[in-house]
Amino acid sequence: MQETIALVTGAAGGIGEAIVRLLAERGARVAAVDLDADRVEALAAALGAKGLEVTGFAADVRSSASVEALVERVERELGPVEYLVNAAGVLRLGEARALTDADWESTLAVNATGVFHVSRAVVNRMVDRGRGAIVTVASNAAGTARADMAAYAASKAAATAFTKCLGLEVAHHGIRCNVVAPGSTDTPMLHGMHSDGAAAAASVAGDPQHYRVGIPLRKVAVPQDIARSVAFLLSGEAGHITMHELTVDGGATLGV
């Protein structure tokens, strides 16, 4: 990945931060993108102090204008983007029939429309260069029904389908598009689902009342597990893999 320019959205989140760190450690120059300007600048400064090439950028993936300006600036200041990781995401919990318009719209706006905006802006530049790799961080919920997660699951299913369709359309330009689908991962998003601090234990045990099996490997993922999977799909080692969905959930969806 030496001298490769990588753009990572959701960079201030648990999984996004791990991806930024790993790609930078492997020699990429990383554009770390997040809506939270203070957090992403702090991340860039902390990693920069360790000799890693990370630059923070604030942008709102819900806005196509914001995204176009971002990608233009990244390519002007750092160079042509060869790797894109769509890791920005939000979670709104609630029964499907009780979700508000705002819950639904905000979830789809970030998790699905955001992937569309950023992927479109980056891939249109990749096409002219005849190379590139994109990984969208989705969720195992995209293919497995989850109680109280209808908006999130729908948004991740949309992002997954979009990424695979994009991969089909741009394959002849030498651009690969893949998906990593995490399960329960030790991040603030997971812990926010349980007010008693028992998020990891609850995920491992499962919840038969809500038709949710546990995790066969008896542990939740750590962000680095997801980051390593993303890095593999970006790398030349995955050079003949495209339109693939790699599930990283410790067996929680039973390999389906």
**pLDDT tens digits for 122-179?**
999 999 999 999 999 999 999 999 999 999 999 999 999 999 999 999 999 999 999 9
Q: Which of helix, strand or coil describes residue 55?
A: strand
Sign of CA dihedral 77, 112, 222, 41: positive
Q: Which of 152, 158, 221, 233 is flagged as catalytic? A: 152
Q: What is the DSSP letter of 143?
A: T
Q: pLDDT at position 244, please?
A: 98
Q: What are phi and psi of 30, to 5 degrees?
A: -110, 130
pLDDT tens for residues 76-112? 999 999 999 999 999 999 999 999 999 999 999 999 9
29 close to 6: Cβ distance less than 8 angstroms? yes
Q: pLDDT at position 100, please?
A: 98
- Number of Cβ within 10 Å of residue 235's Cβ equals 16
Nearest C-alpha neighbor of 43 from the set 32, 58, 29: 32
| Confidence band of 201 (pLDDT split at 50, 70, 90) | confident
Who wins on pLDDT, 192 or 243? Answer: 243
What CA dihedral angle connects 207, 209, 210 and 211, to 10 degrees?
Answer: 80
Domain segments of the chain as ranges = 5-183+223-247, 188-220
User: Is residue 195's pLDDT more than 70?
Assistant: no
| Confidence band of 2 (pLDDT split at 50, 70, 90) | low
Cα–Cα dist 134/119, whole Å: 8
Q: pLDDT at position 199, please?
A: 74
The share of the chain scoring above pLDDT 70, in percent, equals 97
Q: Which of helix, strand or coil describes residue 32?
A: strand
Q: pLDDT at position 239, please?
A: 98
Provide mean pLDDT across the span 28-47.
Answer: 98
Cα–Cα dist 157/141, whole Å: 8
Please determine, looking at this structure, whether the domain spanning 5-183+223-247 carries the CATH number 3.40.50.300: no
Q: pLDDT at position 190, please?
A: 76
**What are the strands of the beta sheet with 132-137, ordered from one edge?**
54-58, 29-34, 5-8, 81-86, 132-137, 175-182, 245-248
**Residues in contact with 96: Cβ distance below 8 Å, sequence separation at least 6, in sequence order:** 150, 151
| The pair of three-digit structure tokens given for residue 159, joined into one six-digit string | 């992002």
Q: pLDDT at position 210, please?
A: 87
User: Is residue 1's pLDDT more than 70?
Assistant: no
Respond yes or no: is residue 152 known to be catalytic.
Answer: yes
